[in-house]
């Protein structure tokens, strides 16, 4: 065996030992810190565009960012599909000490995502105007949305591939390198937005250009991080788009595709229904959506710190450690969201005002919507962690159902039905209603899995050595 291969194998074995013997709480906190930063930065891209475009004091331009978010969600859905699909498989195989299979999956997930991004770019540019209308543009928002989407689509291939690299890194417990790539891109986006929008007077074009340039820098840094860390290397020779690997990508990635894809669909439905209440309603809901997405990204990042711990230990048949890690995450994520919800509720008007000061209607609608969402927001902690648990251990059906619940199965009917009874108030109450119903669904589904994990714990665990 060549020395380099032998060294890489030894490093993977050492990592497997650490992930299956150290206290899961300690591992989660170590891995969650960079993933929380990564998720905050990822959500910050669209939030930054919304913030700076709102400074133009053009409600239609602000609404265009909300419309374009649907496309960003589609791109992210594809990236997370291949990233989570390949990453879940990789962590389980490394837990089994199958390095070769993990290497082939890493390459397959990466190159497949890039190809999928190319398809999105070509199709989107070919049908740009119909796409903008389909995403929920009004006549006044349409020109701004077209300008923004045209540029964003160019970056679709490497945006998808970046998410794959990010997720593969963290599933191998190398979240620090993922954080560096994404953080650098986020900081660059923050710097380029005001330069392009105001300094070069490019408006929404400048916001889009800042986003794709920042994402390109993130992609390059993530790729360098993969090649220089102790992570599995990406080589074209390992690309295996065969039935076995693609099936595992589908099994592991479908819940993420459902979650992110339905997030896009729900945004389209939301924008379409909100049309009837004017550009101010679309802008207000867009601002609130970005705020809540930013807030929830911290919990998602915490959960992503849990996923490699879950995958390694489940692959090693250490089910008690999986259960222990899950309960730890649910407890502290819920506490965090309760505190955050109280703070956001108290300062909701001021928070919305950071994005839009010139239109009092936007502030009024946004403040009410933000407070309503704060009431049920803490319930999402258990829903998110349950989704990540079932996804990582390969329970595709349950994971997909949970992934589709909050932003799809529960949300879309609420968006369509509630406005018939309470008009704009009904539209605003759609998300809190979906949160409540999603929690009611997640509770019985997860209890069954937790009981099963407890019942299948091996009688002796030579690797554990940790008091419970």
List, for residues 104-126, the tens digit of each pLDDT value: 999 999 999 999 999 999 999 99
Task: Summarize pLDDT for 405-435 with one digit per residue, the tens.
Answer: 887 889 999 999 999 999 999 999 999 999 9
Q: Comparing 64 with 42, which gets the higher pLDDT?
A: 64
Within 8 A by CB and 6+ apart from 367, the residues are 348, 349, 352
- For residue 458, pLDDT over 80 is answered with no
CA proximity to 446, closest of 388, 386, 378: 386
- For residue 174, pLDDT over 50 is answered with yes
Q: Where are the beta strands (DSSP E) in 46-160?
A: none
- Give the mean pLDDT of 128-139: 87
Listed as own residue / partner, the contacts of 5-10 with beta carbons closer than 8 Å and 24 or more positions apart are: 8/99, 8/230, 8/233, 9/99
> pLDDT at position 109, please?
94
Alpha helical stretches, state H, 393-429: 396-404, 411-428
Q: In whole angstroms, what is the distance from residue 2 CA to residue 363 CA?
A: 64
Tokens of 211: 């986003």
Q: In whole angstroms, what is the distance from residue 220 CA to residue 158 CA?
A: 9
- For residue 398, pLDDT over 70 is answered with yes
- Give the mean pLDDT of 321-330: 96
Q: Could you tell me if residue 466 is inside a domain? A: no
Q: Could you tell me if residue 468 is inside a domain? A: no
Tokens of 294: 């930013």
Q: How many domains does the chain have?
A: 1
Is the torsion defined by CA of 203, 356, 134, 216 positive or negative? positive
Tokens of 411: 């949300």
Reported confidence tier of residue 54, pLDDT bands at 50, 70, 90:
confident
> pLDDT at position 459, please?
43
Q: In whole angstroms, what is the distance from residue 93 CA to residue 87 CA?
A: 10
Does this model's pTM top 0.85? My answer is no
Residue 335 host element (H or E): helix 319-346
Phi, psi of 438 (to 5 degrees): -65, -40
Q: Could you tell me if residue 278 is inside a domain? A: yes
> pLDDT at position 461, please?
42
Reported confidence tier of residue 220, pLDDT bands at 50, 70, 90:
very high
Q: In whole angstroms, what is the distance from residue 222 CA to residue 227 CA?
A: 9
Q: In whole angstroms, what is the distance from residue 125 CA to residue 71 CA?
A: 12
Question: b/e string for 260-271 if b means 16 or more Cβ within 10 A?
Answer: bbbbbbbbbbbb
CA proximity to 76, closest of 152, 150, 185: 152
Q: Could you tell me if residue 312 is inside a domain? A: yes
3 state DSSP class of 305? helix
Tokens of 84: 């989570």
Q: Could you tell me if residue 121 is inside a domain? A: yes
Reported confidence tier of residue 455, pLDDT bands at 50, 70, 90:
low
- For residue 462, pLDDT over 60 is answered with no
Q: In whole angstroms, what is the distance from residue 288 CA to residue 68 CA?
A: 15
Q: What is the extent of the structural domain holding 439?
A: 3-455
């Amino acid at each position: 065996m060549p020395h380099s291969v032998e060294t890489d194998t030894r490093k993977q074995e050492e990592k497997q030992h650490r992930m299956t013997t150290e206290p899961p709480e300690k591992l989660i906190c170590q891995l969650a810190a960079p993933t929380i930063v990564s998720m905050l930065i990822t959500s910050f891209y669209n939030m930054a565009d919304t913030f700076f475009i709102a400074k133009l004091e053009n409600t239609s331009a602000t609404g265009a960012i909300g419309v374009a978010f649907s496309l960003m969600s589609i791109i992210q859905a594809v990236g997370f599909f291949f990233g989570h699909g390949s990453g879940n498989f990789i962590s389980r195989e490394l837990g089994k000490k199958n390095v070769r299979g993990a290497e082939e999956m890493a390459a397959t997930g990466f190159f497949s995502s890039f190809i999928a991004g190319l398809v999105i770019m070509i199709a989107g540019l070919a049908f740009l105007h119909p796409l903008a209308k389909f995403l929920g543009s009004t006549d006044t928002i349409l020109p701004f949305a077209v300008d923004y989407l045209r540029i964003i689509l160019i970056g679709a291939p490497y945006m998808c591939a970046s998410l794959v690299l990010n997720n593969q890194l963290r599933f191998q417990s190398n979240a620090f390198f993922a954080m560096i790539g994404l953080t650098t891109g986020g900081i660059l986006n923050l710097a380029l937005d005001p330069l392009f929008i105001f300094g070069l007077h490019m408006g929404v074009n400048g916001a889009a250009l800042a986003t794709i340039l920042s994402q390109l820098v993130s992609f390059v840094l993530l790729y360098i991080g993969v090649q220089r860390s102790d992570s599995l290397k990406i080589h074209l020779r390992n690309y295996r788009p065969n039935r076995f690997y693609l099936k595992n990508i589908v099994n592991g990635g479908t819940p993420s595709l459902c979650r992110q894809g339905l997030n896009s669909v729900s945004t389209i439905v939301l924008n379409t229904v909100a049309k009837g209440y004017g550009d101010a309603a679309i802008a207000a809901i867009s601002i609130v959506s970005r705020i809540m997405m930013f807030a929830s990204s911290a919990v998602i990042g915490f959960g992503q710190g849990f996923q490699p711990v879950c995958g390694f230990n489940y692959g090693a048949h250490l089910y008690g450690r999986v259960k222990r890690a899950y309960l730890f995450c649910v407890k502290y994520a819920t506490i965090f969201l309760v505190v955050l919800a109280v703070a956001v509720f108290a300062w909701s008007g001021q928070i919305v005002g950071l994005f839009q000061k010139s239109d009092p209607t936007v502030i009024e609608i946004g403040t009410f919507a933000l407070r309503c969402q704060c009431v049920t927001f803490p319930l999402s902690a258990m829903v998110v962690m349950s989704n990540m648990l079932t996804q990582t251990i390969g329970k595709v059906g349950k994971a997909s159902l949970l992934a589709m619940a909050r932003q799809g199965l529960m949300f879309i009917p609420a968006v369509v039905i509630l406005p018939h009874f309470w008009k704009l108030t009904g539209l605003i109450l759609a998300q809190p209603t979906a949160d409540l119903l999603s929690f009611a669904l997640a509770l019985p589904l997860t209890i069954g899995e937790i009981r099963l994990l407890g019942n299948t714990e091996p009688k002796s665990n030579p690797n554990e050595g940790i008091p419970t």
